Structure 1
Amino acid sequence: MQTLTPSFSTALHFIGGQLHDSPTRFDVIDPATGLAFQTAPDATQAQLNQAVVAAKQALPAWRDLGYEKRGEQLRAFASRLREQAPTLATLLTQEQGKPIARAREEFERSAMLVDGITRLAIDSELLREDARGRATLHHRPLGVVGAITPWNTPIVLAVSKIVQALYTGNTLVLKPSPYAPLATLNLGVLAKDLFPPGVLNIIAGGTDLGSWLTRHPDIAKISFTGSVRTGKAVMVACADTLKRFTLELGGNDAAIVLDDVDVEKIAPQIFWAAFGNSGQVCMAIKRLYVQRKAYEPLVAALARIASQVQVGPGADASSELGPLQNRAQFEYVRGILDDTRRSGARLFEGGQRLPDSGYFIAPAIVADALEGMRVVDEEAFGPVLPMLAFDDVSDAVRRANDTTFGLGSSVWSSDLDRAEEIANQLSAGTTWINSHMGVEPGVPFGGIKQSGMGVEYAVQGLKGYMEPHVIKTPAHDLQASH
């Protein structure tokens, strides 16, 4: 691998192996100040077409390269992610808001995903071999994939789509969120001399670009991570050309805590599973059901942590939680908190706007919450945790499942057999026991109900980037070949 001397001074599109500007650029806001600090290029429809043409031209050679060679190039890309993490993490923090240590971790997690996914084997399968002949199942790349990523964990989600699409032999056109496009655009700088031109293309823009991408006739699949509302629009847009799609959408994840837990032990784990990245994680705990005996002790323990956590600009090394990423999300969370104050629930700790400039809200513990309140029924996607008491476990399971979402869930208990029994009753794509959150390269992740369609990661996720191809050979031809 050649030594790279990157230049991250100006964010540019990465199209056909080259960096490109656009006739117009848009502001990128620092959520710690609420002020613009840099601009990003706003792609034209012609630039999207240019990226798709480049991806189509690169497809045959990349497809034919094979898993081993593609994996080697992707792992070289992972090495670049690790090398440049200190520089790009600073940029990620400024555009996204998360503490600098968490930004560095995001690059490391991304590199680990690449390393893990490129070690997975997608083998052909012998379906039958008998007197009729032989039938085998193969998996072929779809073609040019379009990917759309959100603003909460931009690098992990961009890199996960890059590695899955490219490792399976597709080429890619990636669109990051316009709220946090800069670090993702600079992945093109890292990739510039690694992949053949056109294999990876990264272009920035707003709603129009997303619409052009999802409706483009030469895009074979869309991989989208984001809100339910936008996911439904993506699904409709894919219908005209029968595009394949994977949708990883929102969640209103429930955690069920039984009364046999060690409250002081689990409280920090639950707090960070709810408030990490200021609650801006699709699979974070969003509703906490606690059995009556453990309820008040856990309320008090979580409130104590919330009162002590350091909230501030991500660039400050002492900050443990940063701001909300954008003004729209900030105002949405404030609206939910205003409704909560009027609802009769106890805002036990936090919830106030902090005096700093920017989009800061103190982490809020909401006790005595009930279904029917916005704070329970809607996904706040912010630093707010409603806590609901229960007596009967079957009632808690029913309430946890009574939602249109179905991304993640968790059960907390010192009795693993009991916890597994409850976990099997929960309607979610993933249920954790005595933990919550986290993805692995070899374990599929996705949602049910309105939390998504399809899965990412593992062999199951990789096959979502491929088309099944059955080959049948008659018995007499097999005999003749021998």
Structure 2
Amino acid sequence: MAPQLDITAYPGNVINNEFVPTSATRHSINPSTKEALYEVPVATKADVDLAVKHARKAFESWSKVPFAERARLLLDFADAIETHRESLEKLLVLEQGKPLGLAHTELDMSLQWLRAFSTMEVKDEVLDDNEERTVTQIFTPLGVCCGIVPWNWPVLLGLGKVGPALITGNTIVIKPSPFTPYCDLKLGEIGMGIFPPGVLQVLSGGDDLGPMLTEHPDIDKVTFTGSSETGKLVMQSCAKTLKRVTLELGGNDAAIICGDVDIPAIIPKIATLAFLNSGQICMLIKRLYVHESIYDEFRAALVAFSKGIKTGDGFAPDILVGPVQNAMQYEKVKNLYSEIEKCNWTQALEGEVLKNSKGFFITPAIIDNPPDDSRIVAEEPFGPILPILKWSDEDDVLRRANDTKAGLGASVWSKDLDRAERMARCLSAGSVWINSHFDVAPNIPFGGHKWSGIGREWGMMGLKSYCNSTSLWKWKKAM
């Protein structure tokens, strides 16, 4: 087996294929134990300027590298990550809290995504061709990109920005979340041995690092994944220099269960897709609408299955629900749990804040048919708490499902595929599934409607967002 990364060593930010130390350092904590993790650099404005300067210089040559060569290096990067995946998976559990099995899945997906991006070439498109002229749409790289990565899926969502940026000929600076900087810094360290200097750089820092990047005049595009409220601030900041911006923001996904479903068959998937990663995935099921004809039976089966879901440290066996990732989110989820008694919500499954545990542990809760205007329905909890609601009229449940500022994902579950598709086409969301939820793929565009985002990641549509479009008119008659 190849030597693994030293996950305890963070000598500096990755700038121009060198470690650049900083005078100040900081650390995050293991959310399962609240114990301090390793010291990481805190970037300054000078570090940002230096990284952007090198990214700008590297762009001049990287943008001219043939697609086949960029693809080869992306594949080499994937292979190098795979060599070190055991260390990265362990590190992901330590910093993010997710169970080891889910960390393994995240690395699997990340490698699949990188390898898929290496095959996705954005080609010229002939728009008009006749005896007099040919009009071709050509796509050229934007320049220097900045990827702002969230704390819930730091590897996949980090590499999900790196791959499209680099394969389209851009350079990129990655900013990890202050809560989960470790894996992304290690990915930058691996990239030092693959890409030319300045092509891929990683800057770790505090809360002030984001604005330094989004306001920087020499960054051409920002791709941000995070909350809707922070996304508004990012967009406002990018507007100062008219940067291109892609925003993948929060969701409040509805799943509509029709009366004809096979309850025992779908319950495991429904429960898993509500509580996976402690509910800390933007595209999980957040609101569950169940037809009144099966409501009681469905609720009983969901509760029975969910009682068997284990909460605990990510390294323990058979864990589905790890800790809430950080103290700020933990307090938000605790506050929502405190509403249960205040608002007289009925708990079909009683959740518990494990106050005597070392970490930020909260067990799953299922709220039985709360009012549509209650916080648990109207807000994205980003924690292991799920409202289950009753419906009878198709038009009414579609209205209720769409009655939100969010529009990231939604699903319809039914044996009648024609009916399910008719309903699915009425849902306002960037991804809509029939008899499933939270399916994603590197070749499929991903993003939201309304306050769930602007633009798309992934797929050819996502890759084109890293490019300028030029309409090239060629008149065939000599002047």
Q: Which amino acid in 1 is paired with 2:272?
A: W
Q: Offset at 1:5?
A: 6.4
In the other structure, the counterpart of 2:420 is 419
In the other structure, the counterpart of 1:430 is 431
Q: Deviations over 1:10-59 (max 9, x none)?
A: 22311101112211111211100123222221101101111101111111
In the other structure, the counterpart of 1:450 is 451
In the other structure, the counterpart of 1:239 is 239
1-structure distance, mates of 2:278, 2:404: 23
1-structure distance, mates of 2:424, 2:393: 15
In the other structure, the counterpart of 2:403 is 402
Structure 1 residues 6 and 91: CA distance shift in structure 2, 3 A: closer
In the other structure, the counterpart of 2:91 is 91
Q: Specify the SS of the correspondent of 2:37.
A: strand
2-structure distance, mates of 1:464, 1:350: 45
1-structure distance, mates of 2:417, 2:127: 38
**Which structure 2 residues correspond to residues 14-413 of structure 1 after superposition, within 5 A?**
14-354=14-354, 355-413=356-414
2-structure distance, mates of 1:273, 1:430: 15
- Contact 2:311–2:319 at 8 Å: present in 1 too? yes
- Per mean C-alpha deviation after superposition, the further-off stretch among 303-312 and 424-433 is 303-312
2-structure distance, mates of 1:398, 1:253: 14
- Contact 1:279–1:381 at 8 Å: present in 2 too? yes
Q: Which amino acid in 1 is paired with 2:9?
A: T
1-structure distance, mates of 2:249, 2:288: 20
- Contact 1:340–1:374 at 8 Å: present in 2 too? no
Q: Offset at 1:408?
A: 0.2
Q: Offset at 1:7?
A: 3.5
Q: Specify the SS of the correspondent of 2:289.
A: strand
Q: Which amino acid in 2 is paired with 1:9?
A: T
Q: Which amino acid in 2 is paired with 1:374?
A: R
2-structure distance, mates of 1:19, 1:167: 24
- Per mean C-alpha deviation after superposition, the further-off stretch among 335-344 and 432-441 is 335-344
1-structure distance, mates of 2:65, 2:5: 27
2-structure distance, mates of 1:5, 1:404: 45
Q: Which amino acid in 1 is paired with 2:311?
A: V
Q: Which amino acid in 1 is paired with 2:66?
A: G
1-structure distance, mates of 2:342, 2:391: 23
In the other structure, the counterpart of 1:9 is 8
2-structure distance, mates of 1:352, 1:134: 66
Q: Offset at 1:295?
A: 1.2
Q: Specify the SS of the correspondent of 1:38.
A: coil
2-structure distance, mates of 1:320, 1:232: 32
Q: Offset at 1:4?
A: 7.4
Q: Offset at 1:321?
A: 1.7
Give the total of aligned pairs: 476
- Contact 1:31–1:95 at 8 Å: present in 2 too? yes
- Contact 2:5–2:87 at 8 Å: present in 1 too? no
Q: Which amino acid in 1 is paired with 2:361?
A: F
Q: Offset at 1:344?
A: 2.7
- Contact 1:8–1:189 at 8 Å: present in 2 too? no
- Contact 1:17–1:197 at 8 Å: present in 2 too? yes
Q: Offset at 1:368?
A: 1.5
Q: Specify the SS of the correspondent of 2:28.
A: strand
Q: Specify the SS of the correspondent of 1:476.
A: coil
Structure 2 gap segments, 5+ residues each: none
- Contact 2:275–2:320 at 8 Å: present in 1 too? no
2-structure distance, mates of 1:341, 1:261: 32
- Contact 2:213–2:219 at 8 Å: present in 1 too? yes
Q: Which amino acid in 2 is paired with 1:462?
A: L
Q: Which amino acid in 2 is paired with 1:435?
A: S
Q: Which amino acid in 1 is paired with 2:8?
A: S
Q: Which amino acid in 2 is paired with 1:19?
A: F
Quick one: percent identity of the two aligned structures?
42
Q: Which amino acid in 1 is paired with 2:262?
A: D
Q: Offset at 1:278?
A: 0.7
- Per mean C-alpha deviation after superposition, the further-off stretch among 257-266 and 33-42 is 33-42
2-structure distance, mates of 1:233, 1:142: 22
1-structure distance, mates of 2:429, 2:81: 32
